[in-house]
């Protein structure tokens, strides 16, 4: 198995920077904004975007994490746990949500996250930010903010590594 | 983006020392440690230093708890445990420190308790740097080009490779026991022998063979990187000599003059990439080869730790490399680095720029050896032969080069147009192709004999720029010899770096006459400040060099100044100890309330550190240079090392108050095999001699004798200068004595100044700084009673009698290929302190 | 031959002449970079200026075909300490002395350039002249000279031209473009159309660009016609936009912000520039007399993305509503550090995004 680095640390940082600028462009000054990271790595990426927004605008944007590993339509499970508590549920009402994930592939993860968010609260808008869009969508889902488009083959795997848990910041293709 | 700041739990830092000095390992690490201790202490760290180098200045620092111990895993582990060390900093200990730290990491066991963190680089990098195959692979994967290298484990494998690759080939040891050496094999006959030698040097019995890239241009870059990945370039220097001659043996110049911005930026980018890959917090020295026909770059060496280039760049840019590097290692980001108030507040973050030229010239010891009857191989190649280097500062290349030559040799003898007359044309061509230590003078001679620039550039692979510059020197030389002293000619000659003494030689006059003439004509030096912004900002600079222009920026320090003449370049048998002595003199003079000015031109010892003196002149040390500074600063007195007899005489003749720091003109020879040299060491305070201790010296090793000598009558000793001296006698014996009957000193011994190396050793072992006492004795009335009592109080315990100083480790065979054994006392490169363990093996 | 430099404040510096024996007038500035003299003297932003080099030895690398930033030097004089002679041969077809002579630019060497720079550091940039003789006539001429404010007209193209490639279609509005920008666009294989700054909005939009660059250029941006600002105001809302140098200053003016003059101009490449959002530091070639006034920045429209950490000047701006941004420094690395090229990488990512969303 060969891993090829497709995004090094510097490029990954800059992709997040660009996403942040675009989020700002679409959400004036970051008001009413909540970042929701899809566990595990999406959560770390959401925090990094929040850090950047703070550097730039001096505002602290709330970050939540959502765990949809039990919630996907292809893995039926009645006892889904989202990792969101009651307070979170209230907080997202009428807010502009940016859902943050590491990789956009078939769109099933995103759909599950959308379902979950809508189910628990009533956000005003939901947009989607992904570090990597690798194509091969199976659902009509499109990211609003993309760090990097990386065309891949079906059988390849994209692995996003973040320093917090993987020791390095980089994106690899696993053949 | 990481919000990384310094770790609050990190409070107790252990610095690893770099051990004994050697080829390519002068005092730079020790000077760096000495320089950074105060600032780290002020930031609240508890500091510890372990080293076994007797000439270390840092071991005498008051800002750290210093420990004299052999640099072994076992010893360091014990120190870590006893001193509850949180962090170990190997970055100021060169490749030895890195290897030692790697061993410590690898051999750390659970029962050793929590392991301290390593500062400067992650553990993974430490391990990568100790596995060159993995390192090459990692760098290559990142797109860095390196000369293709293959590892072989036997002569047979090497021969196999030889069939695929053509000569010349570069052969070096993989994981070498000593520092790395590279050898270029041009002839088939040499191949087998070299491979054998190299396999022998490798800890893993492996050799690395690659295509030689002889003839390409070599450039060294120094960059710094912080924990967040911010990189900045401190400087770059280019070698005049092409690859094939060790960079330490080449003339080098900074800033880079003959390479385009596009290529330089590519080099910078590659250096940053290396720093990022290795995740360094601190300095990275990268050596690159440039093929100018294709603009292809090859990465030839990576040194992600402090080395000679760091200290040199600090001196020649004015950027405080060491102060910044150590703070980056503790986790500070570049914008949070703290500097002393003499720097502009943004200095750490700004890449330094130079508005002057600095030439580094290697210093060889071939002449000294020849004088002692030792013949060595003088031909320059990929193995370092120089023992030190001298710097020349100027505003043109020729000025910097002429000053470097004078700095390297203390005199202008070699400039004489007749100097090379004896070389016939065949020899000249041979030496152009196979360069020796007289490289620059030979190139000048070739031009003098009418060789064309194109021809010479082709023959030597030296950029033609240098030949045009050398031609300028010939033009000036011609004008001077043909002309009479005039204002214009004097100005032109002096601006080209010619000294009064050299002009006197050309005009068959004397130094003093030329000096007067120049003064009358108004041709006096203008001192330019050396600071990192190239004039953009007012900086409170203390470093100056002389040139001949309009504006003089130097203002006299005070009316109570002492000028100290440094020892110049690192030389064999003198070594770091001379730099140590000078530095202690400066430190003590300041303690006594004097303003101090130092003149020196060696970047590798501590004497030019900005915090040791009030002003530093980066100048050659000929009498004309010294007198120019005297005119500028009007010092009360001038401290001169005793070996500079001509300078002392000249200064005295000019009415200067000279204080001599006693030193023999040449390093004395040590005892012969089978012989012991005994010394009664004594302190002379200007009026009276005080006996200190007895020492016994056998080849390569000195020990203290546990014998009381306080009552020895030394009243017959009367000397012109205070200092530390020795009464010497020899006996045919090879046992280490416990007691020895003293001879009749008046008959059976001779007196000499104690070599600086022994002064440094005894100061550490007896825990009394002998040089400080010498300096204090210069004051009116000599030493105080307190001083004397302190001195005596340190003697009787003889706490040092279980220590020895050993100086026989230098690999002269590798570097110099001598035809006879080299006397390691007289031509000592370095020494170490070892603790004796009951028996007499002395290996600690 | 001895020649002289007279400053507007009356100070005289003397040295030896090289290059053309002409008498010229210009605004004198100093440059602290230690490499890239050829790129610097051919950069159109220096139209009408005399440059003092802090680098003491200049010319050792000759003149190279690949290091031109425009076809001819735009400067009025070059002041150095030492001029290195190199021959002209296969590798170095031209040397500095001959090059300046051919283009009628005078130079002086053997000047105490450090003294001159320390002087200019205190007095600021000013008018100066290079002459053979220092007399009242020369001084009067200097005082009477009014330096041109038509530098952009002098240097920018007045005809559209193409620099074809197979990638994205990038329109460059030329105010005195340096070649480095085209070189980088070439690296991205962009299909480039360079347009005069007098081009109308409709003409630009007809070309259907994927991105627009407002180029570097010389002089005071406030001397340019209002139509340029209109061009920016309309285009920024439609297509990804990047402003560089003068283009950055215009981007600020077009968005209701104002410029200010720094007490000392800065020309060099050793100042740290911080990208605020990531806190990363980079170094880049800078050459500037004007900067955006932080007091007069319309923060409803723009926000600051980069700052020079030495003088805190604004080095980068971004529009709040559009994919439009600008940098004061030169990101093309000719001369100068290559890490600044990331600005172009960001621009092209923005272009990709724009193209994908509009397909």
Are C189 and C265 in the same domain? yes
Q: Which domain holds residue C62?
A: 2-147
Q: Is B236 helix (H, G, I), strand (E, B) or coil?
A: strand
pLDDT, residue B838, reads 53
Cβ contacts of C86 within 8 Å, gap of 6 or more: B464, B465, B468, C59, C60, C61, C62, C92, C95
pLDDT of residue B420: 78
Same domain, C197 and C273: yes
What is the fold, at CATH topology level, of the domain defined by B532-661? Rossmann fold (3.40.50)
Residue of C nearest to A18 (CA): C346
Which of C54, C86, C339 minimises the CB distance to B535? C54
pLDDT at position C314: 97
- Cβ–Cβ of A21/C318 closer than 8 Å? yes
Same domain (yes/no): C116, C210: no
Give how far C272 is from chain B: nearest CA, Å: 6
**Of A145-149, B343-347, B414-418, C213-217, which has the strongest mean pLDDT?**
C213-217
Are both C187 and C237 inside the same structural domain? Answer: yes
A60 contacts chain C (CB < 8 A) = no
Assign domain B148-211 to its CATH architecture.
2-Layer Sandwich (3.30)
Using a CB-CB distance cutoff of 8 angstroms, which residues of chain A are in contact with residue C325? 21
Long-range contacts of B513-522 (CB under 8 A, 24+ apart): B514/B485, B515/B624, B515/B627, B517/B485, B517/B490, B518/B490, B518/B494, B521/B486, B521/B487, B521/B490, B521/B491, B522/B487
Token representation of residue C29: 């500035």
pLDDT score for B843: 37
Q: Which of A17, A31, A54 is the mutation pick for testing C, counting most C CBs within 10 A? A: A17
C279 and C347 fall within a common domain: yes
pLDDT of amino acid A89: 64
What CATH number belongs to B12-119? 3.40.50.20
Q: In sequence order, what are the beta bridge partners of B547?
A: B526
Domain end call among C98, C117, C147: C147
Distance CA B409, CA B664 (A): 18
Number of structural domains chain A divides into: 1
Tell me how many domains chain C contains: 2
Is A13's Cβ below 8 Å from some Cβ in C? Answer: yes
C220 and C350 belong to one structural domain: yes
For residue A51, list chain B residues with Cβ-Cβ distance below 8 A: 1, 3
A63 contact partners, CB below 8 Å, separation of at least 6: A34, A35, A36, A37, A43, A46, A47, A50
| Every domain of chain B and the residues it spans | 12-119, 148-211, 217-354, 532-661, 676-754+767-800
pLDDT for residue C88 is more than 70: no
In this structure, what CATH number is given to the domain that contains residue A84?
A: 3.40.50.2020
Contact yes or no for C121 and B538 at CB 8 A: yes
| Domain final residue pick, C115, C147, C179 | C147
Predicted confidence at residue C92, as pLDDT, reads 60
Distance from CA of C333 to the nearest CA of B (A): 8
Query: Residue B1's pLDDT is what?
Result: 38
Chains in contact with A, counting 3 or more C-beta pairs less than 8 Å apart as contact: B, C
Detail the residues of C annotated as belonging to a binding site for L-glutamine: 217, 219, 246, 289-290
Query: Is the minimum CB–CB distance between C346 and chain A shorter than 8 Å?
Result: yes
CATH no., domain B217-354: 3.30.470.20
Preceding peptide of C167 cis, ω within 30°: no
Nearest to C121 by CA among B536, B529, B532: B536
CB contact under 8 A, C323 and A52: no
pLDDT digits (tens, 9 = 90+) for A56-92: 988 899 999 988 876 655 544 444 455 566 666 667 8
Q: Which domain holds residue A71?
A: 3-174
What pLDDT is recorded for position B297? 96
pLDDT of residue B179: 61
**What percentage of chain B reaches a pLDDT higher than 70?**
96
> The domain spanning residue C162 has which CATH number?
3.40.50.880
Interface contact flag, A55 C278, Cβ < 8 Å: yes
Q: Is residue B803 within 8 Å of residue B836, measured between CB atoms?
A: yes
Contact B535 C279 (CB under 8 A): no
Residue at token pair 């320093």: A163
Check B465 against C269: CB less than 8 A apart: no
Q: Using the beta-carbon criterion (under 8 Å), do C56 and B536 form an inter-chain contact?
A: no
User: Are C320 and C196 found together in one domain?
Assistant: yes
pLDDT of residue B621: 94
User: Given C61, C332, C346, C353, which residue is catalytic?
Assistant: C332
Note whether C57 contacts B: Cβ–Cβ < 8 A. Answer: yes
Buried b (16+ CB within 10 A) or exposed e, C315-346: bbbbbbebbbbbbbbbbbbbbbbbbbbbbbbb
Whether C332 sits among the annotated catalytic residues: the reply is yes
pLDDT at B3: 42
Instruction: Report the distance separating Cα B30 and Cα B311, nearest Å.
Output: 11
Last residue of a domain, which of C132, C147, C162?
C147
Q: Check if A148 contacts C (Cβ < 8 Å).
A: yes
A20 CB within 8 Å of a chain C CB: yes
B→A contacts (Cβ < 8 Å), by residue, are 1-3, 229, 276
Q: Which residues of C touch A10 (CB under 8 A)?
A: 342
| Contact (Cβ atoms closer than 8 angstroms) between residue A67 and residue A73 | no
Structure tokens at C239: 């297509």
Strand ranges (DSSP E) for B326-416? 357-363, 388-394
Please tell me which residue of chain A has the smallest CA distance to C322: A25
Separation of alpha carbons C116 and C32, rounded Å: 13
Interface A:C, Cβ pairs < 8 A: 43
Report the gap between the CA of A20 and the closest CA in chain B (Å): 13
Stretches in chain B below the pLDDT threshold 50: 1-4, 839-844
Question: Choosing among C274, C277, C324, C342, which should be mutated to test the A contact, i.e. which has the most A CBs within 10 A?
Answer: C277
> What digits encode the pLDDT tens for the residues B220-230?
999 999 999 99
8 Å CB contact of C277 and A55: yes
Q: Check if B12-119 and B217-354 are the same fold.
A: no
The greatest distance separating any two alpha carbons of chain B, rounded to the nearest whole angstrom, comes to 81
| Same domain, residue pair C59 and C140 | yes
> Would an 8 Å CB–CB cutoff place C334 in contact with chain B?
yes
Question: What is the pLDDT confidence band of residue A2, given thresholds at 50, 70 and 90?
Answer: low
Q: Which residues pair with B638 in a beta bridge?
A: B563, B658
pLDDT for B196 equals 87
**Sign of the CA dihedral C322, C327, C333, C334?**
positive
């Amino acid at each position: 198995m060969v891993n090829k680095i497709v995004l090094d640390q510097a490029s990954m940082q800059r992709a997040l920077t660009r996403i942040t600028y675009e989020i700002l462009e679409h959400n004036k000054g970051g008001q009413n904004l909540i970042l929701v990271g899809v566990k595990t790595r999406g959560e770390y990426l959401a925090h990094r975007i929040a850090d950047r927004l703070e550097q730039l605008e001096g505002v602290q944007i709330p970050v939540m994490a959502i765990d949809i590993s039990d919630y996907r339509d292809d893995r039926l499970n009645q006892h889904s746990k989202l990792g969101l508590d009651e307070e979170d549920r209230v907080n997202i009402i009428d807010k502009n949500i940016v859902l943050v994930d590491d990789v956009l592939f078939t769109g099933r993860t995103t759909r599950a996250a959308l379902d979950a968010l809508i189910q628990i609260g009533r956000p005003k808008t939901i947009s989607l930010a992904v570090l990597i869009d690798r194509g091969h969508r199976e659902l009509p889902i499109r990211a609003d903010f993309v760090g990097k488009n990386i065309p891949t083959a079906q059988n390849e795997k994209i692995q996003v590594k973040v320093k917090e848990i993987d020791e390095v910041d980089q994106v690899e293709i696993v053949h | 983006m990481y919000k990384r700041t310094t770790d609050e739990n990190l409070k107790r830092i252990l610095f690893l020392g770099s051990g004994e000095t050697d080829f390519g390992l002068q005092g730079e690490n020790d000077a760096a440690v000495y320089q950074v201790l105060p600032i780290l202490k002020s930031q609240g760290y508890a500091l510890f230093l372990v080293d076994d180098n007797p000439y270390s200045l840092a071991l005498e620092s008051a800002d750290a708890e210093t420990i004299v111990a052999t640099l072994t895993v076992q010893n360091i582990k014990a120190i870590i445990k006893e001193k509850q060390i949180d962090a170990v900093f190997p970055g100021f200990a060169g490749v030895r420190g890195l290897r030692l730290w790697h061993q410590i990491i690898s051999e750390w066991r659970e029962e050793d308790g929590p392991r301290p963190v390593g500062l400067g680089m992650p553990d993974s990098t430490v391990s990568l740097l100790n596995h060159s195959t993995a390192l090459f692979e990692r760098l290559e994967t990142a797109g860095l080009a390196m000369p293709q290298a293959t590892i072989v484990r036997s002569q047979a494998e090497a021969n196999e490779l030889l069939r695929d690759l053509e000569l010349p080939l570069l052969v070096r040891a993989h994981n070498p026991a000593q520092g790395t050496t590279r050898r270029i094999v041009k002839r088939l006959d040499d191949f087998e022998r070299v491979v054998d030698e190299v396999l022998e040097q490798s800890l893993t019995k492996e050799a690395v063979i690659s295509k030689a890239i002889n003839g390409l241009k070599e450039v060294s870059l120094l960059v710094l990187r912080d924990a967040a990945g911010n990189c900045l370039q401190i400087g770059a220097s280019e070698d005049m000599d092409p690859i094939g001659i060790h960079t330490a043996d080449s003339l080098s110049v900074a800033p880079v003059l003959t390479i385009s911005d596009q290529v330089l930026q590519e080099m910078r980018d590659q250096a940053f990439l290396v720093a990022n890959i290795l995740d360094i917090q601190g300095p990275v020295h990268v050596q690159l080869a440039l093929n100018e026909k294709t603009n292809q770059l090859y990465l030839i060496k990576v040194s992600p730790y402090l080395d000679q280039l760091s200290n040199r760049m600090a001196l020649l840019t004015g950027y405080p490399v060491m102060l910044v590097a150590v703070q980056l290692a503790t986790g500070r980001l570049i914008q949070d680095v703290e500097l002393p108030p003499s720097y502009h507040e943004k200095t750490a973050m700004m890449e330094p720029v130079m508005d002057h030229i600095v030439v580094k010239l290697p210093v060889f010891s071939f002449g000294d050896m020849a004088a002692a009857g030792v013949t060595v191989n003088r031909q320059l190649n990929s193995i370092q032969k120089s023992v030190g280097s001298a710097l020349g500062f100027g505003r043109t290349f020729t000025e910097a080069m002429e000053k470097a030559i004078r700095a390297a040799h203390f005199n202008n003898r070699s400039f004489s147009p007749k100097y090379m007359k004896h070389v016939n044309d065949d020899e000249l061509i041979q030496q152009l192709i196979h360069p020796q230590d007289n490289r620059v003078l030979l190139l000048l001679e070739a031009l003098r004999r009418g060789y064309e620039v194109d021809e010479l550039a082709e023959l030597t692979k030296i950029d033609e720029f240098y030949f045009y510059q050398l031609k300028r020197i010939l033009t000036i030389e011609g004008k001077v010899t043909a002309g009479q002293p005039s204002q214009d000619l004097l100005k032109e000659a002096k601006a080209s770096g010619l000294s009064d003494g050299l002009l006197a030689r050309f005009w068959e006059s004397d130094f003093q006459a030329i000096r007067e003439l120049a003064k009358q004509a108004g041709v006096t030096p203008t001192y330019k400040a050396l600071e990192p912004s190239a004039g953009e900002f007012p900086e409170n600079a203390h470093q100056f060099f002389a040139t001949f222009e309009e504006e003089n920026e130097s203002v006299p320090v005070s009316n109570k100044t002492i000028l100290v003449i440094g020892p110049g370049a690192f030389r064999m048998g003198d070594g770091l100890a001379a730099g140590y002595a000078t530095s202690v003199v400066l430190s003590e003079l300041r303690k006594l309330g004097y303003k101090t000015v130092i003149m020196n031109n060696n970047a590798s010892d501590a004497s030019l550190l900005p915090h040791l003196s009030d002003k530093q002149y980066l100048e050659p040390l000929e009498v004309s240079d010294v007198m120019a500074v005297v005119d500028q600063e009007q010092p009360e007195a001038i401290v001169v090392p005793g070996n500079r007899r001509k300078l002392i005489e000249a200064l005295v003749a000019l009415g200067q108050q000279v204080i001599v720091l006693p030193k023999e003109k040449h390093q004395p020879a040590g005892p012969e095999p089978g012989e012991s040299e005994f010394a009664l060491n004594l302190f002379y305070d200007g009026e009276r001699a005080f006996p200190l201790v007895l020492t016994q010296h056998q080849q390569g090793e000195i020990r203290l004798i546990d014998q009381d000598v306080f009552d020895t009558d030394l009243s017959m000793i009367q000397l012109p200068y205070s200092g530390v001296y020795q009464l010497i006698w020899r006996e045919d014996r090879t046992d280490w004595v416990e007691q020895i009957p003293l001879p009749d000193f008046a008959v059976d011994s001779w007196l000499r100044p104690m070599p600086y190396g022994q002064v440094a050793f005894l100061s550490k072992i007896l825990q009394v700084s002998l040089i400080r006492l010498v300096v204090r004795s210069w004051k009116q009335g000599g030493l105080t009673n307190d001083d004397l009592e302190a001195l005596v109080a340190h003697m009787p315990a003889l706490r040092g009698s279980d220590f020895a100083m050993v100086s026989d480790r230098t690999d002269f065979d590798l570097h110099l290929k001598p035809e006879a054994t080299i006397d390691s006392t007289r031509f000592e490169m370095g020494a170490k302190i070892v603790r004796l363990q009951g028996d007499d093996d002395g290996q600690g | 031959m001895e020649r002289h430099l007279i400053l507007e404040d009356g100070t005289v510096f003397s040295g030896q002449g090289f290059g053309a024996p002409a008498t010229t007038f210009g605004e004198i500035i100093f440059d602290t970079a230690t490499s890239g003299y050829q790129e610097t003297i051919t950069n159109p932003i220096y139209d009408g200026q005399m440059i003092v080099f802090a680098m003491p030895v200049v010319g050792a690398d000759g003149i190279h075909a690949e290091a031109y930033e425009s076809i001819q030097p735009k400067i009025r004089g070059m002041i150095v300490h030492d001029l290195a002679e190199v021959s002209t041969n296969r590798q170095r077809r031209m040397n500095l002395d001959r090059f300046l002579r051919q283009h009628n630019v005078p130079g002086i060497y053997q000047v105490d350039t450090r003294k001159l720079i320390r002087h200019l550091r205190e007095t600021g940039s000013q008018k100066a002249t290079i002459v053979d003789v220092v007399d009242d006539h020369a001084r009067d001429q200097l005082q009477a000279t009014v330096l041109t404010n038509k530098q952009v007209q002098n240097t920018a193209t007045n005809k559209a031209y193409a620099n074809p490639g197979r990638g994205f279609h990038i329109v460059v509005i030329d105010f005195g473009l340096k070649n480095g920008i085209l070189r980088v666009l070439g690296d991205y294989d962009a299909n480039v159309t360079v347009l005069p700054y007098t081009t109308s909005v409709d003409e630009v939009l007809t070309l259907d660009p994927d991105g627009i660059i407002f180029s570097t250029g010389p002089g005071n941006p406030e001397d340019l016609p209002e139509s340029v600002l209109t061009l920016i105001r309309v285009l920024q809302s439609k297509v990804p936009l990047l402003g560089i140098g003068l283009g950055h200053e215009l981007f600020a003016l077009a968005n209701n912000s104002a410029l200010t003059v720094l007490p000392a101009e800065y020309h060099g490449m050793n100042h740290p520039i911080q990208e605020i959002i990531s806190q990363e530091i980079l170094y880049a070639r800078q050459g500037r007399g004007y900067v955006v006034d932080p007091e007069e920045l319309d923060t409803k429209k723009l926000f600051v993305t980069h700052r020079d950490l030495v003088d805190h000047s604004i080095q980068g701006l971004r529009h709040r509503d559009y994919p439009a941004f600008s940098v004061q420094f030169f990101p093309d690395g000719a001369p100068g550090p290559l890490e600044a090229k990331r600005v172009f990488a960001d621009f092209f990512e923005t272009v990709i995004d724009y193209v994908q969303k509009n397909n």
